[in-house]
Amino acid sequence: MRPFPCLAVSAGLALTVLSAVPATADYSALSARGTTPGPPNYSLAEDNRAGSQIAAVEGVHGVPDHGRYAAEGQTLGHDVSGHQGAVDWPAAAGAGAKFVYVKATEGTGFTNPQFGQQYNGAHGAGLVRGAYHFARPDVSGGAEQANYFVDNGGGWAGDGRTLPGALDVEYNPYSDDKCYGRDAAGMVAWIKDFSDTYARRTGRAPAIYTSTSWWRKCTGDSPAFGGANPLWLARYAPEIGPLPAGWAHQSIWQFADAGTLPGDQNYFNGTEDRVTAMAGA
């Protein structure tokens, strides 16, 4: 098993938790929200989920040998969004899920209408849970979207049951320009703005969800985030393959877009106690 990644906040960032979110916070009121009409375009937001564009662009190339990864101490989990609707959490836990990421927001105009049921329900079923944000670098700045994310369920609490929030950066579903109209330097700056703002708000650097191909295409394979941000890598294949620059190993591997658990299927790179460690300090 590979060593657990460095989870330190980027140098110079304040560690004071300014807006931590209690593990038992009730987000049911968010269920009545949803898309904001008019520009910018959020018409696809209900179906945009971690990996939806990666599967569409990069394809599916098989599944891993589950016996091998279980023997190596990998921990099974999943991720869900409004696309899954209400989730049967006791059933998911009974099927072996130990952790889950739940889509909270997209851009600065969409909140997952199922977020309360999914986020609180996962906690109630005993899963370690976290929230993720679908990035829209084409509609507003990284800091603005980080604040929107934290303010709508994406915070963190050091309770050992709440994973740090995750930034989902993948191919643009709204345009043929898959990098959201930004060059590599502009995309790196946008991600840094999001990450730094999230860390200032919560005391934790967010995980970064991406694929190696997208990262190379849209950031120029920047190594800038490997020291602070846990990597949640998407690749639908028997092996995880090469990693983006800067990361020596992944924290989470999203290996399939369907399987025994609701939503996308993931392995945490370590035993269940390492999942708890990532959710801790």
Active site residue 273: no
**Measuring CA to CA, which residue among 59, 56, 53 is closest to residue 81?**
53
Token digits of residue 81:
């969004």
What are the beta bridge partners of residue 209?
A: 168, 232
The active-site residue out of 46, 79, 196, 264 is 79
The DSSP-derived string for 99-144 is: EEEEEEEETTTEE-TTHHHHHHHHHHTT-EEEEEEE--TTTS-HHH
**Measuring CA to CA, which residue among 184, 150, 152 is closest to residue 169?**
184
The active-site residue out of 46, 106, 168, 170 is 170
Active site residue 193: no
What are the beta bridge partners of residue 254?
A: 234, 266
Q: How far is CA 243 from the centre of its chain?
A: 17
Q: How far is CA 55 from the centre of its chain?
A: 16
- Residues forming the active site: 79, 170
